[in-house]
Structure 1
Amino acid sequence: MQCSSQKCLDRQITLDSARVEVKTPLPRGKLSGNWRNNFLVSWGSTGNAVFHRTCWDFLVKAVQARSKPDVTISAAEKALIKEAAKTAEYHDSLNYLKQEAAKVAKLIKESSHCVAFTGAGISTAAGIGDYRGKEGKWTEQDQSIVDIGSLIDHGVLTPPQKCIVEDDLKGSDEEGTDGIPYEELRPTYTHEALYKLMQEGKVAHIISQNGDGLHGLSGVPGEHLSELHGNVFIEKCGKCQKRYKRSYYVMDDVSSQYYEELEGEGKTDIKRPRHAQKCKLCGLCHRTGRKCNNGKCHGFLEDTIINFRDNLEKEILETAEANAVQCDLMLCLGTTLQVTPACDLVDLIQKSGTLLICNRQKTDRDRKCSQKGLNGIRVYGDCDTLMRAVMKQLLLSTDMENWDRERVERMKHYDKQRDETK
């Protein structure tokens, strides 16, 4: 990789370089004049750029400077850099990451109640896109409405009257952000590492904000897993509350789309399914079209996914809270810690406890890692890279080799589980 800053004296970026990756919305069409003249950044064709950490910090400081900065930046490029800053993904050097992994491994060994708190970032390697970051779902949607040409010309953000959603953002909810059906997703290295640590008694509980079902597929038993936002493979009876774990995606997206179009556009070409019922909270449909087979119940089955405005399931939240309170080491992996009330659980760990945050984006709780009384660790980068380094510290070399080799068989086991129709 090469640093995108034209002012960089050593453009080469190696694995031992702390780097920042960003993406900005380039102007649609041509602006008047040669607007790329004298740019300080070599922006990629899609608006991507990568920098040494020091080079990026220099650019941001220059853009934010109230007095005359050390370098001249055009109004056009200031606009691009400001938008890019919203997407910044940070990566620590490999050497630093290994040093911190050794500390994490030591803390895991000494912990009496270690809890993992996971987000979308641990599933990106499986094929699911995250939400915030340079390629995140919400980032792309935000950037799709930015009229960067107007921003450059007038110095203010002027979004179009109607949100523009690019074609590659559309598609069925039955697929992950990158178009991979949920049934084809498999646990990542981080999923498997957490289950391995749980098997060895080193991780007591996992609190997850993900609905992809990958923790359960990796082997984590339900009693040690709090899926705060539900699971696309689990449906429950709205009457007797019996839960059904399926090998297939349970949600009825057609019914939800029916209500969504009526709400947003006032009309729809979709014929309302007979079982459909609008949720009073989220406005979508939770019914899946199947019925409970529990005795004489036969109530309508509902998906367990928590949509915007839905309430979290009380029992699941209470179990998560109980484990967070007991926690003396919390591993926050792949989450920007923005969604409440889930992220509030991080604040419940013991006052003398330790907080690890591993994520590519900055979070509002990064300061807790350096807060007095907390032996916090902050790592910027991919969770799989960190966890691989942690596992090398915790496992004997022969055990590590065997475990890595057995991944092929584990994949076959996952395939079998997803192929089974329950």
Structure 2
Amino acid sequence: MIASDLRSGVERLGDMIAAAKTIVPFTGAGISTECGIPDFRSPGGLWTRNRPIPFDEFVASQDARDESWRRRFAMETTFAAARPGRGHRALASLYRAGKIPAIITQNIDNLHQASGFAPDHVIELHGNTTYARCIGCGQTYQLDWVKSRFEVDGAAPDCTVCDEPVKTATVSFGQAMPEDAMQRATELSQTCDLFIAIGSSLVVWPAAGFPMMAKNCGARLVIINREPTEQDDIADLVIRHDIGEALGPFVGN
């Protein structure tokens, strides 16, 4: 059911939240746009300005690694300045109230952790851009270390342990999805009674399969997104309005 207006959608969502025992949110880039972080596909989004660098290209080419890190450093001010928005804070309120056991996210911006979710309760399907990791041995690095090495050497650094490339701890196109995160997301989707997809276009697979999985396992499905998605027709409620306005009434509840 598509909400006829924002007010009726929020009221219906409130009823569903009140009735639910276990809520699992699934968030995409749309929840962070009011925080100043651009999404990927919309006009002006990151992918309209820069072609994504696939994982195999990153591994094979020093030039690709250098370009990847140049882009990340260019976004540093944006990521550093971002603070949790109304959507993040609303979900954190429901988490503190015991309604949400954990959150599944496609986002890499660390804003759910900043809003109050314990890091262990944020299931990051696409990784995290606030630190770096060696693609060989998994050694972690702070971004300041990478930046200083980049500035001194004029090139993206390799791991000090195994000499393999260091990249942001994110999942690139062509890179394997994190097995533990996928397994935990599967379990959450199969056991909740309310699944809320927020700010995701639901076109990136396999992550986009979780709302459908939850629905097939008996959960009610809510989709909050400005644009239509391919799963709107199976949802119990669709709210096509600003995410901050839709979730704002639940901040502090």
What is aligned with 1:124? 33
**Does the 8 Å CA contact 1:207/1:228 hold for their aligned counterparts?**
yes
Q: What is the 5 A alignment of 1:359-370? A: 359-369=225-235
**8 A Cα contact 1:326 1:350, kept in partner:** no
**Counterpart in the other structure of 2:188:** 323
CA–CA distance in structure 2, aligned partners of residues 249 and 316 of structure 1:
26
RMSD value, Cα:
3.3
1:273 CA drift (Å)? 3.9
Please report the TM-score for the alignment, with normalisation by the length of structure 2. 0.78
Matches within 5 A, 1:264-283: 271=155, 273=157, 275=159
Question: Aligned partners of 2:146, 2:88: CA distance in 1, in Å?
Answer: 23
Structure 2 SS opposite 1:192: helix
Contact 2:146 2:157 in 1 (8 A): no
Does residue 185 of the first structure (1) align with residue 50 of the second (2)?
no
Identity across the alignment (%)? 27
Distance 1:318 1:225 in 2: 13
2:19 alignment partner, one of 96, 106, 110: 110
Equivalence map 1:31-42=2 (5 Å): none
Larger Rg: 1
Of 54, 67, 73, which residue of structure 2 is paired with 1:174? 73
Decide whether aligned partners of structure 1 residues 349 and 249 sit closer, same or farther in structure 2, where only a CA change above 3 A counts.
Answer: farther
State the 1:233 CA deviation. Answer: 2.2
Cα distance in 2 between the residues matched to 1:133 and 1:314 = 29
Distance 1:134 1:236, change over 3 A: closer
Maintained 8 Å contact 1:109/1:202: no
Q: State the match for 1:76 in structure 2.
A: none
For 1:198 and 1:110, the matched residues in 2 are separated by 15
In structure 2, do the counterparts of structure 1 residues 237 and 203 end up closer, same or farther at CA, with 3 Å as the change threshold? same
Give deviations 1:289-318, integer Å, cap 9, x for gaps: xxxxxxxxxxxxx64210111111111111
Shift of 1:378: 0.8
Per-residue CA deviation, residues 197-233 of structure 1 (Å, 9 max, x unaligned), is 1000122221000111111111201222101111122
Partner of 2:8: 99
With over 3 angstroms needed to count, the CA separation of the structure-2 counterparts of 1:278 and 1:196, relative to structure 1, is same
Aligned length: 230
Q: Which residue of 333, 340, 358 maps to 2:224?
A: 358
1:304 match: secondary structure: strand
Any gaps of 5 or more consecutive residues in structure 1?
A: 1-91, 143-170, 256-268, 280-284, 288-301, 370-375, 396-422
Deviation at 1:254, TM superposition (A): 8.6
Assess, with a 3 A threshold, how the Cα gap between structure 1 residues 128 and 253 changes in structure 2: closer, same or farther: farther
What TM-score do you get using the length of structure 1 for normalisation? 0.48
- The answer on whether the counterparts of 1:133 and 1:361 sit within 8 Å (CA) in structure 2 is no
Any stretches of 5+ residues in structure 2 without a counterpart?
Answer: 52-69
Q: Secondary structure at the match of 1:115?
A: strand
Q: Which has the higher contact order (CA 8 A, sep 6+)?
A: 2
Q: Which amino acid aligns with 1:360?
A: R
**Structure 1 residues 121 and 274: CA distance shift in structure 2, 3 A:** closer
The Cα of 1:359 is off from its aligned counterpart by 1.0
Provide the residue aligned with 2:65 in structure 1. Answer: none
**SS of residue matched to 2:176:** coil
1:349 aligns to what SS in structure 2? helix
CA gap of 1:252–1:315, structure 2 versus 1, over 3 A, is: farther
C-alpha distance after superposition, 1:91-111 (max 9, x if no partner)? x99x81111111111111111
C-alpha displacement at 1:174, in angstroms? 2.8
Q: Aligned equivalents of 2:43 and 2:32: distance in 1?
A: 16
Give 1:249 deviation, angstroms: 6.6
